[in-house]
Amino acid sequence: ARGDDHRPTDRPDDRAGQRTTAATMGSVTLKVVIQKTGQSKTLAFGLDRTVNDAMREIARKTGAEVGADYGLFLAKGGKVLQARWLRSDRKLLDCELPDGATVHLKKRIRPLKVKLEDGTTKTVLVDESMSVAGVIAAIGKKMGLKNADEFALQLEGAGAQQWLNSSQSLSEQGVGDTDAVVLKKKFFVSDAQLDRSDPVALHLVYAQSLRSILAGDHPLTDTECANLAALQCQILYQNFNPQQHRPGFLGREKEKLVPPQFYSKLGTIEPLMIAEYKKLVGMTEVNAKFRYVSDCRRLKTYGITTFACKQKQAGKKKPVDRHLGVTRDAILLLDEQRQVLKEVPLTHLRRWAAASKTITLDFGDYEDDYVSLLTDDADTISQLIGGYIDILLKKRKEGANLLDDGGDEVASIETVTPVRGMAIGGRAVARGKAGGAGGAA
């Protein structure tokens, strides 16, 4: 059941109370900081005025410059628990501004440094008041990137699964004017349609695939490892040169070509790699990247996002270490060596719930019981699953072809639409947090 169902019926709504008090007061006093000059001034504003009206009043009383690209940003502090941009067309009454709060008058448009997986940096002008989803769309348009909704932003230096919230603005999440963000592919949905006609997306997916392969994120056979290494040789060094690419070459260049788990098998991998490398003479860099991505896509764990977790097992007191993997098509359970123990199609998922340290998955009649895993990344897993389903349903609505190489449907509305706040067998298993207010992930 939803948590707010248990609110006492005789308790007044706090927000309604705040608005009634504000309406009685008729005005609110705010500390206004002018970003351009550093000047600050305390001013009173009528609550029936819009944010645009307030900016014009600030300009009249302080002489500050105010243009179409300016806005008011409510700073965190005191009774303000969440910093946010104020919508220019809203009345101040509806902005729920506590008396004495600080607002910054500043430009919404600013340059943002965006780092890519290949190490390059782009500078893009963005509207800081937009949500991160809007910023990603702007970056995608600037770069000519199709399917930008499958990409996400991370603050530079953040952990592998620490993504910026797509529904909040950069400022609301503490991204400063000098901070850089990293653009990475988070959702691997439309990769089957990726081809050489979209060189920007191809290069970004190649760079991220290469990084993932070299990090050892995928279990590979010797042949798969050698073939990928040969393609990477063609990309880095062009055609095979018998004078340069002699036995021992892989030992010197291993960090650029193979994952760490194969360092002890270079004697086996190198002859396989060289034999394949010789076949690639004349292949262009673009074609080699396309082949690299195509070979990666054939891996069972391609596009997988993994999370460390623990699983309780019958007859054992101590939970065993596992990895949970999420892809466009499936949810996988892997062992410590990233070998696949179980793979369940995403279409079998009926509901899921995230508690503080637990993720619970309900596969309906396809499994005898719920799959419950202990993890510190429960909310992140829940958001990732929800993001995949949202994109799949959006593309289905748009009529996009979402058939995989085998021709099977990826998802259907009937089988993956999450049910919020529904109790199953006495346990709350729903999208979002179990037993919470039923909010979407």
pLDDT tens sequence for the chain (441 residues) = 333 443 333 444 444 444 444 444 589 999 999 988 999 999 999 999 999 999 999 999 999 989 889 999 999 888 888 889 999 999 999 999 999 999 999 999 999 999 998 889 999 999 989 999 999 999 999 988 888 889 999 999 887 778 998 888 998 888 988 999 999 999 988 887 787 878 888 999 999 999 999 998 888 999 999 999 999 999 999 999 998 998 999 999 999 999 999 999 999 999 999 999 999 999 999 999 999 999 999 987 788 888 999 998 877 888 999 999 998 888 989 888 778 888 899 889 999 999 889 999 999 888 878 889 999 999 999 989 999 988 888 888 877 555 444 444 433 333 344 433 232 233 333 444 443 333 323
pLDDT of amino acid 402: 52
pLDDT of amino acid 382: 92
pLDDT of amino acid 400: 59
pTM, 2 dp: 0.71
The beta-carbon contacts of 98-102 under 8 Å, at least 24 apart in sequence, are 98/28, 99/25, 99/28, 99/29, 100/29, 100/30, 100/31, 101/28, 101/30, 101/31, 101/74, 101/75, 101/77, 102/30, 102/31, 102/32, 102/33, 102/74, 102/75, 102/77
Rounded CA-CA distance 174/162 in Å is: 13
Rounded CA-CA distance 402/411 in Å is: 8
Beta bridge partners of 105: 34, 72
DSSP string, 282-316: T--HHHHHHHHHHHHHTSTTTT-EEEEEEE--TT-
pLDDT of amino acid 213: 94
pLDDT of amino acid 79: 87
Q: Compute and round to an integer the Cα radius of gyration of the chain.
A: 26
pLDDT of amino acid 114: 96
pLDDT of amino acid 401: 55
pLDDT of amino acid 266: 95
pLDDT of amino acid 419: 39
pLDDT of amino acid 417: 40
Pairing between β-strand 330-334 and β-strand 151-155 as defined by DSSP bridges: unpaired
